[in-house]
Amino acid sequence: MKHLIDLDDFSLEELNGIIEQAVEIEKNPMAFHGRMTGRILGTLFYEPSTRTQMSFQTAMLRLGGQIVGFDDPQTASVSKGENLKDTVKVVSNYADIIAIRHPLEGSAKAAAQCADCPIINAGDGGHLHPTQTLTDLVTLMCEKGRLDNLTIGLCGDLKFGRTVHSLIKTMLRYPNNRFILISTPELTIPDYLKKAIEQANGSYTEISSLEEALPLLDVLYMTRIQRERFESLQEYRRQKDVYKLDCNKLTHAREDLKILHPLPRVDEIDTDVDDDPRALYFVQANHGVFARMSLILHMLGTDDPSPVMAGQILDRDCANSRCITHQEQYLKHYYLDTPSGPACEYCDCHE
């Protein structure tokens, strides 16, 4: 089985093939209708979603397949205390492929260990969101024409922003991309990602001023400050209004800037910006359907399996309180060897 937990699960050749196919589908979606007739997508959404869930469902329906699933764990047997393993084990015999979103980090990897069908990570807590990144890559390919030689500004919640983490990891695989990381000191990217950039000989600058960064950028990736990730409401309130993109600030940006946002937006982009031709976030959400159509076709059309766990089992608890291993007690504690010591294979915690 081929799972998608992290886009690193795909070779660069595979990834580029999925992007190219998405662009082809977008030109003529009806040509692909019927390719998934008789196949079923399961959507297990333990956390709210509009775009990811509905674009996955739309993608499967447009391919001629069908869908089952839940979007509120309170309406499923999860509310009766069923663990992740049992839910995934059962649904993976009803469906041919499952997209799962869960508030805990490493949950998709945990699901893949017990599933009898391919698992797609549709967002695991503040960790990764690979299908959003696939959407972002299709958007950049269609709207910018390339995935390399880009100066990419990422602004907002870089600490808990799973879309940011996946995007940085993936854009590092294309040559000469540079990252300008715009955040408060409290919401900078995790250390493991800084190390990943350094190990890939990538370049990043951390700054706190959006105004200073704007003139330098080919791409601005705005993100929401996510109330649901903060342990303290007071800290959320201190962070939530720091960055706001408006038309006035955009006068300092390049004419060919591309403004992306995974959405949902709260206040971090003024609605007046929506009319600026550089604002692509609604176009981006639309590309997501074709990206996911291409992904489903690839995953159900390949015999190339992906190993689920590669690390060794250690008798120690993960230091990340948001790691799935703390909720699902039956999980074995896998760790990968890294230059800075063992890292939890579920959530990438290096502590």
**Which residues does the annotation place in the binding site for L-aspartate?**
80, 162, 224
The least distance separating ligand CP from the CB of residue 313, rounded to whole angstroms, comes to 32
Tokens of 152: 């990419």
Would you call 273 helix, strand, or coil by DSSP? helix
Kindly state the smallest distance separating residue 180's Cβ from ligand CP, in Å: 22
CB of 294 to ligand CP, least distance (A): 17
CA 82, chain centre distance (Å): 26
Least Å from the CB of residue 162 to ligand CP: 8
The secondary structure of the chain in percent helix, strand, coil, rounded to multiples of 5, reads 40, 20, 40
- Residues forming the site for ligand CP (CB under 6 A): 49-52, 123, 132, 262-264
Q: How far is the CB of 299 from ligand CP (least distance, A)?
A: 19
Specify whether the CB–CB gap between 84 and 101 falls below 8 A.
Answer: no
Annotated binding site: which residue ranges? Answer: 51-52, 80, 101, 129, 132, 162, 224, 263-264
Give the residue numbers of the binding site for carbamoyl phosphate: 51-52, 101, 129, 132, 263-264
Contact 236, 225 (CB under 8 A): yes
Q: Which of 161/202 has CB closer to ligand CP?
A: 161
Using the minimum distance from each CB to ligand CP, give the nearer residue, 282 or 330.
282
Least separation in angstroms between residue 262's CB and ligand CP is 4
Q: Which is nearer to ligand CP, 113 or 166 (CB)?
A: 166
CB closer to ligand CP, 291 vs 344: 291
Q: What CA–CA distance (Å, rounded) separates 21 from 264?
A: 26
Could you tell me the smallest distance in angstroms from the CB atom of residue 286 to ligand CP?
12
Is 49 or 139 the residue whose CB approaches ligand CP more closely? 49
What's the CA gap between 151 and 167, in Å, rounded?
13
Rounded distance, CA 203 to CA 94, Å? 45
Closest to ligand CP by CB, 130 vs 262, is 262
CB of 223 closer than 8 Å to CB of 164: yes
Give me the phi and psi of 8, to 5 degrees please.
-65, -15
Which candidate, 158, 154, 208, 156, places its Cα nearest to that of 177?
Answer: 154
Classify burial at 35, counting beta carbons within 10 Å of its beta carbon; exposed 0-12, middle 13-18, buried 19 or more: middle
CA–CA gap between residue 83 and residue 72 (Å, rounded)? 15
Q: Which residue's CB is nearer to ligand CP, number 156 or number 202?
A: 156
DSSP 180-206: EEE--GGGPPPHHHHHHHHHTT-EEEE
SS3 of residue 225 by DSSP: coil
- Give the neighbor-by-neighbor strand order of the sheet with 40-45: 66-70, 40-45, 97-102, 119-124
